[in-house]
């Protein structure tokens, strides 16, 4: 498997379709990919929404700690990608980000992860929402640095 995406979610019925579709769009340029949703005991329609999309679903047992890190751990145990993308169920990938991140990791053997910038999406009065995009400034920001912490959503 070339690239595995692990989506961690709990009660994300309003966001999970947007998240999964953004991942599927980003993965379509790569051979051998998989999408895994690890659900942290949702009690809404998250599972039903996700099951209609091309997603394998694993549920954390109720006696497990309900945390994103537990979901990521279980996801890694059930995927086999050379690259692993973690994303939370209330997020979406901006078109172009994954290609830049994979390209960077392919070229730099010393790098272990690529993180992105988080943008809040705001609802406008007319019902539309703000939509950030990758621009020249994103490509200028790519570089390596030593860090002791990588946030949960990243490409490893």
Confidence of residue 146 (pLDDT cuts 50, 70, 90): confident
* Separation CA 88–CA 90 (nearest Å): 6
- What pLDDT does residue 121 have? 63
Contacts of 2 (CB under 8 A, 6+ apart): 30, 31, 32, 33, 81, 82, 83
Q: In the chain, what is the greatest distance between 2 CA atoms, to the nearest angstrom?
A: 46
Looking at the DSSP bridge assignments, the partners of residue 39 are: 9, 59
| Percent of the chain predicted with pLDDT > 70 | 83
pLDDT in tens, 40-71: 999 999 999 999 998 999 999 888 877 888 99
φ, ψ for residue 16, nearest 5 deg: -65, -35
Using the predicted structure, report yes or no on whether residue 110 has a pLDDT greater than 70: yes
φ, ψ for residue 64, nearest 5 deg: -85, 155
Segment 102-123 shows an average pLDDT of 82
């Amino acid at each position: 498997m070339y690239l595995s995406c692990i989506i961690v979610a709990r009660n994300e019925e309003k966001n999970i379709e947007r998240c999964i579709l953004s991942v599927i769009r980003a993965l379509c340029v790569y051979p051998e990919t998989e999408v895994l949703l690890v659900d942290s005991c949702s009690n809404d329609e998250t599972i039903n929404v996700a099951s209609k999309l091309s997603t394998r679903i694993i549920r954390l047992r109720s006696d497990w700690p309900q945390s994103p890190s537990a979901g990521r751990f279980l996801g890694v145990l059930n995927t086999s990608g050379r690259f692993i993308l973690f994303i939370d169920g209330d997020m979406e990938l901006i078109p172009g980000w994954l290609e830049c991140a994979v390209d960077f990791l392919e070229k730099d053997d010393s790098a272990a992860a690529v993180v992105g910038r988080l943008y809040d999406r705001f609802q406008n009065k007319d019902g539309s929402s703000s939509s950030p995009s990758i621009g020249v400034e994103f490509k200028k920001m790519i570089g390596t640095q030593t860090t002791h912490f990588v946030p949960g959503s990243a490409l490893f």
